[in-house]
Structure 1
Amino acid sequence: MADVTIVLIMTSLVLMDAYLVEQNPGPRRVGVCVTVLAGDACFLIVLRYVAIWAGSEVHTARRGYAMILWFFYIFILEIKVYFVYQNYKSQDVDAETDVGVSRRALTLLLSVCMPIVFITLAAIDHLEYLRPYKKREEIRSRLFWVVVDLLDVVDVQANLWELQREGLPLWVEGLMFFYCYILLLVLPCVSLSEISMQGVNIVPHKMMLYPILSLATINVITLLIRSGNLLIYGDTQVSGIMMGKNVIAIVVKCCSLAQYRKHQQASPPADRGAEMQKSSLVDVQINNVQPLVLPRVVIEDFTTILEEEEQSKDEPEHT
């Protein structure tokens, strides 16, 4: 499974390298090609050492290795996306006929590669401790929301390099790009850590960290970003479908948080009773266990007795 993940990661990085090489014609193309190939080789070496380190650590979970892979993957991928985006900004839009096609192809590439790599890293079908079908479906439904959030963030970020009537201010572009960069870097790792921390006893209402973070950082803020681009800057490229998705996600996640709060208010008495019952059972088991007394074996030294008997026999002979 790790080999498949590394192949997918390297394939998406090589496709981004093709964008970088294609954007630098002339003698610069050879230098850019050598640079990106050297960077990919160093990235493979780092992944190799990370895999060896994660395999040698007994306490390192498989999800920890998946989070490290995702972090490095997005870190390198977004750096290349940034250079591609800057090259697009410096190009003359009127002089190119297929500029819109290449930019939308970049958006399609990111929209396909990121979710596929994330799903491969999650690998629900390879979690042996998730034997019940209901638990696997619960995790799949949560990962589906993560994939939709990834597409939402990519859509906001792609609004920077796709064609627009009027360019956004420089500080707005930088803020949008690096805000999406941080979201792509952190939030999928939070989802993977939630799955790994649950272990065998997966409790759905305790996996609420990612829904809370995504509600605030993705659904609310990206809705504000799209609304601001539409109303203030007159951006016609804003996705109305994603805005509707944000509204639906806000309603659904607010209902889930309300149910979670009700469950928290109702659960303490039951939890306390269960804890008291468990503690009483443990006490009864401890009291019923009889102490194990090991037999003591005493080995006496008979050599001194034999020596005294020999001396007592020898004394009458001398007398």
Structure 2
Amino acid sequence: MVPPRPLNKPHVCLCSILIMSSLALMDAYLVEQNHGPRKIGVCITVLAGDACFLIVLRYVAVWAGSEVHTAKRGYAMILWFFYIFILEIKVYFVYQNFKAQDVKVDEEEAEAGLARRVLTLLLSVCMPVVFITLAAIDHMEYVRPYKKKEEIRSRLFWVVVDLLDVLDVQANLWELQRKGLPLWVEGLMFFYCYILLLVLPCVSLSEISMQGVNIVPHRMMLYPILSLATINIITLFIRGGNMLLYSDSRVSGIMMGKNVIAIVVKSCSLAQYGKLRDAPPAGHGVEMHKNCDVQTAAVSVPVPLPVPPQVVIEDFTTIPEEPECETDA
């Protein structure tokens, strides 16, 4: 399989290293949580799974690296989907192992709490870095204006903040808690965050891809609408329910404040872009005004009628008479 465009080898290597490193860290958690003969079986299983994923990554990463300098991000979306799909499966098993642990000693509880917080830290670093690498905003050479590139960079920053918001909700499930949540609530929260991590970054990448070379930032409104509904509003209710119903003291008040501010900012942006879409273009109005002025001037100034050219035709049909010469008799 040969890519149709020149390959960006540094981008491919960086993506592969980041993805495989994060998966290897999850494998280390899975192997460490098991003891005895079961550890060997888990180690063989995760190594076989990583080998299969590495084969897929070899081709998808090459194609994603070949479209870095273009307006397309199709293979970047596929790579992100596969990456989150595998990573979240590993995180789910790590979470279930944490949940099954019976911690009784204070020192063991402190060590377990540190391991869980380190897991949260690793996810909050690996996922945004992989997403920014796949977006490759600094390699978008087709985006010439600096203002448009900064606009896209600010939108990708909002995606990163939303990723951290979703991870904060998901991390509340495996970090130490005094009172456990109901089983159906835990399952619903985990898989809701799983779907958001799968879909929303792909939506952001697809908006960049659909815009093509002529990127118009105010037309990229699908992701802000989805994130406003699925992250800023629903996660606000999730945190509020955990805090009020289940007395969960680990709910992040900072993220709740972030959601309130994001709701206000995104609502104002949607209203502003709605007015911008309904208003006629400024250049079109100026052209119409100029055309009206030209037509008015043409009507008000009288134009003289063209004078037909006068042609003088001489009569060359008559032959002039020659004078008679006198002869001698």
Query: What is the TM-score when the length of structure 1 is the normalising length?
Result: 0.81
State the aligned residue count.
274
Task: Return structure 1 stretches of 4+ with deviation > 2 angstroms.
Answer: 48-57, 93-97, 267-274
- Unmatched 5+ stretches in structure 2: 1-10, 288-329
RMSD: 2.3
Give CA-to-partner distance per residue, 1:254-301, whole Å, 9 cap, x none: 000110111122137977999xxxxxxxxxxxxxxxxxxxxxxxxxxx
Give CA-to-partner distance per residue, 1:224-270, whole Å, 9 cap, x none: 00000000000000000000000000000000011011112213797
Match of 2:142 in 1: 129
Does the residue aligned with 1:159 lie in a helix, a strand or coil? helix
1:194 to 194, 201, 207: 207
Structure with greater helix percent:
1
2:92 to 70, 82, 89: 82
> C-alpha separation between the residues in 2 aligned to 1:74 and 1:271?
46
Does the residue aligned with 1:94 lie in a helix, a strand or coil? coil
Does 2:163 correspond to 1:150? yes
> Which structure 2 residues correspond to residues 49-60 of structure 1 after superposition, within 5 A?
49-51=59-61
Match of 1:179 in 2: 192
Q: Which amino acid aligns with 1:181?
A: Y
Match of 1:101 in 2: 114
Give CA-to-partner distance per residue, 1:166-205, whole Å, 9 cap, x none: 1000000000000000000000000001111112211111
Match of 1:254 in 2: 267
Cα distance 1:51–1:114, how it changes in 2: closer, same or farther (>3 A)? closer
> C-alpha separation between the residues in 1 aligned to 2:103 and 2:240?
26
Q: Which amino acid aligns with 2:185?
A: V
Match of 1:311 in 2: none
Question: For the pair shown, which has the larger CA radius of gyration, 1 or 2?
Answer: 2
Query: What is the TM-score when the length of structure 2 is the normalising length?
Result: 0.79
Q: CA deviation at 1:111?
A: 0.3
Does 2:284 correspond to 1:267? no
Q: Report if aligned partners of 2:23, 2:87 keep a CA contact under 8 Å in 1.
A: yes
Between the two proteins, what is the percent identity of the paired residues? 81
> C-alpha separation between the residues in 1 aligned to 2:63 and 2:149?
29
Match of 1:14 in 2: 24
Cα distance 1:239–1:51, how it changes in 2: closer, same or farther (>3 A)? closer
> Which structure 2 residues correspond to residues 1-319 of structure 1 after superposition, within 5 A?
1-51=11-61, 62-95=72-105, 96-97=108-109, 98-267=111-280
Q: Which amino acid aligns with 2:265?
A: V
Does the residue aligned with 1:25 lie in a helix, a strand or coil? coil
Q: CA deviation at 1:49?
A: 3.5
Q: Which amino acid aligns with 2:123?
A: L
Does the residue aligned with 2:45 lie in a helix, a strand or coil? helix
Q: Report if aligned partners of 2:32, 2:39 keep a CA contact under 8 Å in 1.
A: yes
Does the residue aligned with 1:233 lie in a helix, a strand or coil? coil
Cα distance 1:271–1:83, how it changes in 2: closer, same or farther (>3 A)? farther
